[in-house]
Amino acid sequence: MKHNYQMIVNDIVKKSFPELKRDKILIKESKNKKFDEYFADVTYLFFIKIIRIGKKMSELSKENGEGVLAHELSHIVLFNKRNFIQKMIFGIKYYLSERLKGLEERRTDELAISKGYAKSLYKSRIIRMKDKTSKSNKYYMKPQEIKSYAKKIKKW
């Protein structure tokens, strides 16, 4: 199903990410074929943050899509905490280090869960993990890990 993702993101920021309310966050629906297997990612252009939406997002309900978007917004929160030099170094390392990528994805999931998006993240992750052709699944928390972490911090 297609949704107005810009509106959904604005609502999530207002409700759950007050630390991002001054950020310029845009949504771009990516037509790039290479991007077909993804739900979404974030890219940074000077001070603008662009959440790119992949074709796969249309497989998700609005509620489950919120989990994915809360994950992307959590990436921006972590990004904002780094200074310029740290951002540069991190940006390079993220693509080179499998371990760092895995760590960052986990931290991002944990933040989205702490913001109250455990169930929608869990459901979208189940759908994501069904795609066996995806090479990036190993970086993310498994649905079961999302559930047990959320229960541990009383956010399930």
Question: Smaller CB distance to Zn ion: residue 13 or 38?
Answer: 38
Q: 71 φ, ψ to 5°?
A: -65, -45
Of 96, 97, 79, which is closest to residue 87 (Cα–Cα)?
79
Question: Smaller CB distance to Zn ion: residue 105 or 110?
Answer: 105
Question: Smaller CB distance to Zn ion: residue 13 or 51?
Answer: 51
Neighbours of 62 (CB within 10 A): 12
Q: Shortest distance, CB of residue 39 to Zn ion, whole angstroms?
A: 9
Three-state SS for 40?
Answer: strand
Q: Shortest distance, CB of residue 100 to Zn ion, whole angstroms?
A: 12
Q: Binding segment for Zn ion among 10-18, 27-35, 88-96, 98-106 (CB under 5 A)?
A: 98-106
Q: Shortest distance, CB of residue 94 to Zn ion, whole angstroms?
A: 10
Of 59, 52, 66, 37, which is closest to residue 136 (Cα–Cα)?
37
Please report, as ranges, the residues that interact with Zn ion according to CB under 5 A. Answer: 105
